[in-house]
Amino acid sequence: MSDLGDDLAASSVFMVLPPDLHPTALALVLSEPSVLMFWPPQERFLRGDPSPLDPATRRQVLAFPTSAGKTLVSQVLIMSHVQQQEHGDVCVVAPTHSPCREIQEALTPRLNLLRTTVADAGPHGSGTALPTAGRVVVMTPERLAGLVRNDPDGFLERFTLFVIDEAHLLAERERGWGLEEALTLIHHLTRGTAHRLVLVSAAMGADAHVVSWIQTDDPPLVRSDTWRGPRRLYALYTTEFDNENTIIEEPHGNQRPRRHVPVLGRVHLRQSSTQVVQGGMREPVGTHVFREKRDGGWTTAKETTSQLDRVQPLIHHLVDTRRTPTLVIVATREQARVLASAVADKLPVAPDLAVLADRVRERVGENHLLPGLISRGVAYHHGALPTDVQAEIEDAARAGSIRCLVATATLTEGVNLPFKAVVIATVGYGNPNDPEKFVTIIDAPRLVNALGRAGRACRETEAWLFLVHHKPFVVSMFDTLRQEGTDLVLQLRCV
């Protein structure tokens, strides 16, 4: 017990943070949620040499896995800068408005104790004006790019610390270019100044090209860790044909022969690098109907159970049978609406959710699908929903009112929600059997981030991660789940 007490004391915020940052430590302890001690990777990072808290450390790359505490480390960097630097505000960049809102809500009680505030820069297209109150401003990459292009000198005169959350966004084909261009300009203009740039990501390897990209006269401070909080259970959900129980439908009238093949759902749980335990759904999860063509070949008939419907039994087993809060990730908004509706149809109405459903109904309209789903503990989430509705859904999920949330990849970018299980139901759209006709939406970095939404530290001791494959199982399918960092190759280089 004495040794345990010594270990706990050594991890105390007052022991880890230097004495001159006592106000920052006090703000961590007194604000909600209270932080009394740091986890091992946080402690190792903050005690490192050179110190990440030293204003002289001008470039940093922080590559922690999800649930390892990088959010709190970012908060400490921001708070220490506000406390130590009388001049120079903090610009925090997050992928979408949902994580921006979450960052703002998390920082507000802590910064209030340091007698300052945090503000949101507003949506892209809000003009060149920024909030004047507060020392910390949160914004999306598009807002950052617009402000930097409009007045780089004025922008850098106000902000001297830049914290880029989910920095692997740099590798995205569509949105990464704008962020990379803005950071390239900031880096180039501040190579010889005291401005600081911190890149944070759970899906970016510490050896990524970005490390050399932000090089100044001194090498950037690079820290990575493999420590995790909750135990993680990786599983694959596959489907396969039960050919032995095929039913032949003879031709009649103008209808040609059909083969009705039951589809079985299988779960493959990886217990170790060499051992996989297998189980399955008790009943078929669907039927694949083949129709004979005039040339004698066979093609898929429209009566075939869709791939989304084949995932439903797994989701219902988690949500209804095991009472497990579950986040389901899909590639498109339409998939989110369809799957959420199908899941909710088999769940009873929850009277305690009537108030939340009515509140959302007032915002989206009487005939909208979403309020009816919420009344059954199910919701969907995507970037086209009104921001206040997104916030209502996220708050309800944090409170445990939403049992199943079906969301697009926008929710995987830095939003922390207390789900014990994550199911990656689809990674794209189109014909998965034809690479030229299939569009991948959830790539490797987004997959790593999506899986990280399960089993948040201090909320769960165990996390369940399911990746869906609509084909027979092969052990190499687990390779996708082993990716913990992605090397980022950037299109631009500093002059």
Looking at residue 212, which CATH number applies to its domain?
A: 3.40.50.300
Q: Is 33 inside a domain boundary?
A: yes
Which pLDDT score is estimated for 490? 35
Same-domain pairing of 102 and 32: yes
Same-domain pairing of 174 and 263: no
Same-domain pairing of 165 and 235: no
Q: Is 490 inside a domain boundary?
A: no
Which pLDDT score is estimated for 28? 96
Q: What's the mean pLDDT in 206-219?
A: 69
- Integer angstrom CA distances of residue 34 from 37, 109, 146, 233: 9, 10, 36, 29
Same-domain pairing of 175 and 282: no
Q: Is 163 inside a domain boundary?
A: yes
Condensed to tens digits (0 to 9), the pLDDT of residues 165-208 reads 988 888 777 788 889 999 999 999 999 999 999 999 876 655 45
Residue 257 preceded by cis peptide, ω within 30? no
Query: Which one of 170, 190, 224 terminates a domain?
Result: 224
Which pLDDT score is estimated for 437? 81
Beta carbons of 163 and 139 less than 8 angstroms apart: no
pLDDT above 90: percentage of residues in the chain: 57
Helix H or strand E segment including 467: strand 462-469
Same-domain pairing of 313 and 197: no
Which pLDDT score is estimated for 486? 42
Residue 418 — pLDDT band, cuts 50, 70, 90? Answer: confident
Q: Is 93 inside a domain boundary?
A: yes
Q: Is 494 inside a domain boundary?
A: no
Estimate to the nearest angstrom the gap between the alpha carbon of 81 and the chain centroid.
27
Lowest mean pLDDT: which of 158-172, 368-382, 436-450? 436-450
Lowest mean pLDDT: which of 119-128, 242-251, 256-265, 380-389? 119-128
DSSP letter for each residue of 5-43: HHHHHHTBHHHHS-GGGHHHHHHHHHSSS---B--HHHH
Query: Which one of 186, 201, 224 terminates a domain?
Result: 224
Coil, helix or strand for 347?
coil
| 321: DSSP letter | I
Taking only Cα atoms into account, the Rg of the chain, rounded to an integer number of angstroms, comes to 25
Structural domains in the chain (count):
2
Same-domain pairing of 252 and 195: no
- Integer angstrom CA distances of residue 412 from 49, 123, 330, 390, 452: 32, 19, 11, 13, 8
Query: Which one of 192, 209, 224 terminates a domain?
Result: 224
The two tokens of residue 163 are 């914290």
Q: What's the mean pLDDT in 415-441?
A: 83
Same-domain pairing of 166 and 313: no
Same-domain pairing of 189 and 252: no
Estimate to the nearest angstrom the gap between the alpha carbon of 52 and the chain centroid.
25
Same-domain pairing of 166 and 269: no
Which pLDDT score is estimated for 491? 36
- Integer angstrom CA distances of residue 153 from 57, 89, 178, 472: 22, 14, 19, 57
Mean pLDDT for the chain overall: 86
Q: What's the mean pLDDT in 369-381?
A: 96
Which residue in this structure is represented by tokens 């079985």?
264
Condensed to tens digits (0 to 9), the pLDDT of residues 66-104 reads 666 888 999 999 999 999 998 899 999 998 888 899 899
- pLDDT higher than threshold 60 for residue 394: yes
d(C-alpha 378, C-alpha 401), whole Å: 9
Q: Is 488 inside a domain boundary?
A: no
Find, among 185, 41, 28, 168, the residue nearest to 93 by Cα.
168
pTM above threshold 0.85? no
Residue 130 — pLDDT band, cuts 50, 70, 90? Answer: confident
d(C-alpha 384, C-alpha 398), whole Å: 21
SS3 content of the chain, % helix, strand, coil (to 5): 40, 25, 40
Which pLDDT score is estimated for 489? 37
Which pLDDT score is estimated for 494? 29
Which residue in this structure is represented by tokens 């990716």?
483
d(C-alpha 214, C-alpha 237), whole Å: 41
Q: Is 157 inside a domain boundary?
A: yes
Find, among 425, 421, 491, 424, the residue nearest to 462 by Cα.
421
The span from the first CA to the last CA of the chain, in angstroms, equals 57
| 72: DSSP letter | H
Same-domain pairing of 295 and 194: no
Same-domain pairing of 336 and 438: yes
The two tokens of residue 183 are 């950071």
DSSP letter for each residue of 144-197: HHHHHHH-HHHHHHHEEEEEETTGGGGG-TTTHHHHHHHHHHHHHHTTTSS-EE
- pLDDT higher than threshold 80 for residue 466: yes
Residue 495 — pLDDT band, cuts 50, 70, 90? Answer: very low
User: In terms of residue numbers, what domain contains 67?
Assistant: 2-224
Put residue 115 in one of left, alpha, beta given phi > 0 → left and psi -120 to 50 → alpha.
left
CA-angle at 97, arms to 96 and 101, nearest 5° = 130
Same-domain pairing of 463 and 316: yes
Residue 50 preceded by cis peptide, ω within 30? yes
Q: Is 402 inside a domain boundary?
A: yes
Which pLDDT score is estimated for 488? 37
